[in-house]
Structure 1
Amino acid sequence: MSRASHMRILMTADTVGGVWTYSCGLASRLVASGADVTLVTIGPAARADQREMLRGAGVRLVDTDLNLEWQDPEGHDFANAERVLARMEARFQPDIVHLNSFREATLAWRAPTVLVAHSCVTSWARACRDTGWLGEPRWTRYTERVTAALNSTQAWICPSQSFHDDIVEIYRPRSPGAVIWNGIAAGNFPSRKREMIFAAGRLWDRAKNIAVLAAASPGLDWPVQVAGPAGADQATGVTWLGQLPHNALRGHLQHAAIFVSPALYEPFGLSVLEAAAAGCALVLSNIPTFRELWSGAAMLFDPEDSRALHRTLADLCAHDLERTRLQRAAYEHSLTYSLARTTSAYLKLYEGLLASDRTSSQAGEIEVRA
């Protein structure tokens, strides 16, 4: 019998960024392992192309109109979230509640909770060196809620040791937390690549630092394509593809010879993993997360130095052997971050929490009888 047989899991997710990709992959794999999974969106409803990522997976999808916590730092929507999610728990009767944001961990769940910290406003601001506004009352309240969430949940997880260390330094949670790397399903190493440089990120998000790539692009022999919302201020020298469905994004990665992430802040970087699995040579900013996850399988550069990035990309475009070596190194290292391994780690965590919950319940029953 599967380890997940008859396990009911209620999982929250937002549809903005890589959390959706993570949630769809994990939820689908949990269902394939025998679990019953309800995926509840927080924030904008899933788009048609995002729903397509779950087609045939057997995951139950429920949209809500609840605010994302970083869009509601004062907690105006908290009481509404409490009512909506209490109804969800009563309706689906989960054994485990898997939360992909902080706020919801402070609710009075009956089932054991797992909180996965994918990012936070404070660590984002620190990485961007823009922290003056964090002292405003609404962001002080946000920090208090994140701290309370980490101290309320039965287990909290980060996708990298680097981000785990940031969380510990900022919020000082009472429990130590743990690290479970994100994972994706492995594919075959692609046989052919095109002379193309590819990146993905929101131009308006300073942490993605796409402006540095735009500044480095003029004069390169190969075209540079960027997927993601560009906004009105688009630099020349780069082809802006706009928001792409996930399947289209993966198609571009299959063709691109080089993938660039100039991020100032990245708690994990699922797009980097997807690029590596597609056999792209990786050119990544020299930040703690990428050193932890991709050391030896990528070229690292100073994310504030567009000239250094230009030189690195120009050299890779010109040198076939080095580019091919990096492509193979990235692909082989991507196999470390498999969806099967990620799912197994979460199932082990869930089982431990359920066993502990049963023991606590039995102890409580004994105390009542006494």
Structure 2
Amino acid sequence: MSAAAAPPAPRCVLMTADTVGGVWHYALELARGLTGRGIVVALATMGRPPTPDQRAAARAVDGLVLEVSGYALEWMRDPWADVEAAGDWLLRLEKRYRPQIVHLNGYAHATLPFAAPVLVVAHSCVRTWFQAVKGAEPGDEWIRYRAEVTAGLRAADLVVAPTMSFLADMATLYGPFGEARTIRNGRDAADYDPTRPKAPQVLAAGRAWDEAKKLRVLQSAGLRGPWPIRIAGDAHGPEGRAQPVPGTEPLGLLGPDRLREEMARSAVFAAPALYEPFGLGVLEAALSGCALVLSDIRTFRELWDGAAAFCPPDDSEAWAAALADLAADDARRKRLAAAALERAQRYSAEAMVRGYADAYADLLTGAVAPPPVAAQPSPTTEVPL
């Protein structure tokens, strides 16, 4: 009996990314896995140019080609001339690299006439952010954005999100769109050390002023709790003024190596976010052997239920009590850390790469139905709320 034929794989993938936040780390991790399978990845960046450290990290991935631009991203202020110019640039890159798959980590460019099948990954969006953080829709200045995102999602050959909860939110706001699936983000456990002795401290990560990260809910715990709370992330607001969380120790913006060091040392990791479509930082903390205390939001429940302690995101007293309880209860803290580490094995880099390889194969074989043309609105059409 002959062996089953291997599923088809692209020779080259054209992938987009921005260089701020989790999408860059996701793209680099995925590219590392894809190039390990012999697939060339042309990574086209927009927004802020990569830092020297980011460029070095990209160079370390054999088979990754970095293409850099400074075009504004679709969620920035008045970006549409840049978005159009970036589209022309991406079409030129497609002609140069001749990829078999176009993998967009954004929305608007999915309406372009690419020759290759288009996969769109929903990492976050302005409307879901506003609904989670403000409890309302964004204002009229976001009408064009809403229309562009809707058009992109409906034009995509396949839509992917890292959690079922977030995929459902996107479908509710922007659907109906065509084929969709969940592929969890992943990290390589070998990059993290869960065996280090733990210091009696709590670590959190994010911009101190960011409403979505909700780090100020940790103020009571920081002022009255038995353990110091250290916050990795920029404490300076958009206007440049320092806005640290009172009672906590600001560490500033840390590079990947330093952040891994802090996670390896910290007994507890706290994530009080109101909005988090996945949460790579939580996964990295779990792989580092931290006990997790998370906000009780749908995505965190989906990923970490039974492997973390949960608190209402707005209840500062509940956070102070939960962190104090873990500081006083070594056995429970160690049980939670072990449960988080075990759960984190589900969200491996290899599982993520395998999921995308399967998705690419389905696109190449036609197992994914094309999007219905009638479901694609004009990018300038106002979408009803």
Instruction: Give me the TM-score of the superposition, normalised by structure 1.
Output: 0.92
Matches within 5 A, 1:67-86: 67-72=72-77, 75-86=80-91
**Amino acid corresponding to residue 364 of structure 2 in structure 1:** L
Q: 1:73 to 1:139 in 2, by over 3 A?
A: farther
Answer yes or no: is the 8 Å Cα contact 2:362–2:368 preserved in 1. no
Matches within 5 A, 1:348-367: 348-356=358-366
Give the Cα separation in 2 of the matches to 1:317 and 1:171: 43
Q: Post-superposition shift, 1:5?
A: 6.2
Q: 1:279 to 1:142 in 2, by over 3 A?
A: same
1:70-112 superposed Cα distances (whole Å, 9 cap, x missing partner):
0045623232112211111111111111110111212111111
In the alignment, is residue 244 of structure 1 matched against residue 248 of structure 2? no
2:56 aligned to which of 44, 52, 57: 52
In the alignment, is residue 89 of structure 1 matched against residue 99 of structure 2? no
In the alignment, is residue 11 of structure 1 matched against residue 30 of structure 2? no
Q: 1:6 to 1:119 in 2, by over 3 A?
A: closer
Q: 1:278 to 1:191 in 2, by over 3 A?
A: same
Answer yes or no: is the 8 Å Cα contact 1:257–1:281 preserved in 2. yes
Q: Post-superposition shift, 1:176?
A: 4.5
Counterpart in 2 of 1:363?
none
Give the Cα separation in 2 of the matches to 1:261 and 1:49: 26
Single out whichever of 260-269 and 351-360 deviates more from structure 2.
351-360
Which structure's relative contact order is higher, taking Cα pairs within 8 Å and 6+ residues apart? 2
Counterpart in 2 of 1:254?
264
Counterpart in 2 of 1:120?
125
Answer yes or no: is the 8 Å Cα contact 2:206–2:233 preserved in 1. yes
Aligned pairs, number:
358
Give the Cα separation in 1 of the matches to 2:313 and 2:216: 10
In the alignment, is residue 273 of structure 1 matched against residue 283 of structure 2? yes
Answer yes or no: is the 8 Å Cα contact 1:73–1:139 preserved in 2. no
**Amino acid corresponding to residue 363 of structure 2 in structure 1:** L
Unaligned runs of 5+ in 2: 237-241, 371-385
Instruction: Give me the TM-score of the superposition, normalised by structure 2.
Output: 0.89
Alpha-carbon RMSD: 2.0
Give the Cα separation in 2 of the matches to 1:233 and 1:262: 17
Q: 1:276 to 1:357 in 2, by over 3 A?
A: closer
Unaligned runs of 5+ in 1: 361-370
Q: What SS does the aligned partner of 1:181 have?
A: coil
Counterpart in 2 of 1:162?
165
In the alignment, is residue 171 of structure 1 matched against residue 181 of structure 2? no
Work out the percentage of aligned pairs sharing the same amino acid: 42
Give the Cα separation in 2 of the matches to 1:303 and 1:46: 33
Single out whichever of 74-83 and 117-126 deviates more from structure 2.
74-83
Q: What SS does the aligned partner of 1:204 have?
A: coil
Q: Post-superposition shift, 1:191?
A: 4.0
Give the Cα separation in 1 of the matches to 2:338 and 2:204: 19
Q: What SS does the aligned partner of 1:190 have?
A: coil
**Amino acid corresponding to residue 244 of structure 2 in structure 1:** Q
Give the Cα separation in 2 of the matches to 1:76 and 1:305: 43
1:269-322 superposed Cα distances (whole Å, 9 cap, x missing partner):
000000001110000000000110000000000110111100100110111101
2:26 aligned to which of 2, 22, 27: 22
In the alignment, is residue 31 of structure 1 matched against residue 35 of structure 2? yes
Q: 1:276 to 1:354 in 2, by over 3 A?
A: same
Q: What SS does the aligned partner of 2:202 have?
A: strand
Single out whichever of 272-281 and 227-236 deviates more from structure 2.
227-236
Counterpart in 2 of 1:366?
none
